[in-house]
Structure 1
Amino acid sequence: MNERRKILMSGILGENIVLSELMVISPVIVCGDTLKNATALIYAFSTITFLAVLISSFVPQKLPYTVKVIIYALIAATVYIPVKFASKQLYPESISRIGIYFPLLAVNSLIVFQTEAKFFRMTKRDMIVSLIFCILGFDIVMLITGFLRELFAYGTINNHIVDMNTLTDGLSKTFGGFIFLGLMCGTYRFIRNTIQIGKNEVRSDTDVSYK
């Protein structure tokens, strides 16, 4: 895998926006306690972020930075309206649980900050690929969090009861979500560092053999 492809795909593993960059963590911590809530958040975040960033990429880059950020926010807010309407039809129960965190998705870090700092410095094709992988990075974390917290907090999977001997009610609370996300971040960084160390050792052995 060449360096360019690694950069474009880094949103899932190398620079996961939740586990590595600590972006968009509030919905994960507060609302990611069931698989249904996680699915609703995945739908909303993925749709709003992809469409908002894609449309924003056509905004003239010669405009002042402050003006561009305001335009990006307006675009995201416009995209949010039909997404929220569709969500009420698709996930009526989850929308009431998610509450204020749903509209906050329209001003998430990928739209407000990463557009200028990262995406708009790429070609259109690379931007779309990188954006998709960044979104997938959030989606995977959200899915795992919702699945495991629902399983161990409520003893259910997608509201279907499973045989669990011990339940941890704290995982359904905000503080439980914070602790769970912290454990995920620690595990993620340990695995990433272990892989990086392994790669460096292989590279060193290769250099020594070459010499």
Structure 2
Amino acid sequence: KQRDNQKYPLLFEAIGIAPVVAMAVSLKSAIILSFVSFVELLLIECLACLLMKKLKGSVRKMIYAILGLLINIPLFMLFRYLAPNETASAGIFLPLLAVNSLIALHCERFAVKHNFKATALDAVSAGFSYAAVILIVGVVREILGSGTVYSVKLNIPVKLPGLLMPFGGFL
């Protein structure tokens, strides 16, 4: 059985926090970040379980990055078409998800040590957990920073626009 800090490394060890801090400034950007992270984690962790158990750890980590890139590029192009403003505001951080340390950590801690069913379940669980944190952070920052949710104005008397800056994710 995994300890909580192994199941939820974002919350306990701050692994994978950089994209959340930099990019989750609104619900729209959080949805994009959540989707891309979930798809990458699920696919890479399952591929690691099926194909990479016998490879050296250093080789596997390079392959995780290459797979992340191969998954990230079409998703980036899709979101650039569907949500050009949010994709543009993500800047370099959306493509950087290809080398998200959370993926490598999950693959090394779990995928290469367990069977496919357990790995797929771990990837889905971790993906939803990571997405939940991203969405909560995105909504809170959007409400407090701009007084909106999904660009719908709320009647909030005080706004803290600093929360919409990358450093605002640490607050």
Query: What does residue 133 of structure 2 align with?
Result: 141
Confirm or deny: 8 A CA contact 2:45 2:119 kept in the other structure: no
Q: Give the 5 Å matches for 1:140-159.
A: 140-159=132-151
Percent identity, aligned pairs only? 27
State the secondary structure of the residue aligned to 2:12: coil
Residue 121 of structure 1, CA deviation: 0.9
Unmatched segments (≥5 aa) in structure 2: none
The answer to whether residue 39 in structure 2 is matched with residue 32 in structure 1 is: no
- 1:60-88 per-residue CA deviation (whole Å, 9 max, x = no partner) reads 42233322222222222211222112121
One-letter amino acid matched to 2:78: A
Residue 146 of structure 1, CA deviation: 0.8
Call closer, same or farther: CA 1:80–1:160 in 2, change over 3 Å.
same
Query: What does residue 110 of structure 2 align with?
Result: 118
Q: TM-score, normalised by structure 2?
A: 0.89
Matches of 1:71 and 1:175 in 2, distance apart? 31
Runs of 4+ in 1 over 6 A off after TM superposition: none
State the secondary structure of the residue aligned to 1:113: helix
Confirm or deny: 8 A CA contact 1:17 1:134 kept in the other structure: no
Confirm or deny: 8 A CA contact 2:25 2:137 kept in the other structure: yes
The answer to whether residue 46 in structure 2 is matched with residue 54 in structure 1 is: yes
Counting matched residue pairs gives 171
Structure index of larger Rg = 1
Decide which of 102, 119, 134 is 2:94's aligned counterpart.
102
State the secondary structure of the residue aligned to 1:86: helix
Q: TM-score, normalised by structure 1?
A: 0.74
Decide which of 77, 80, 85 is 1:85's aligned counterpart.
77
- 1:76-123 per-residue CA deviation (whole Å, 9 max, x = no partner) reads 221122211212122211111111111211111233233122222112
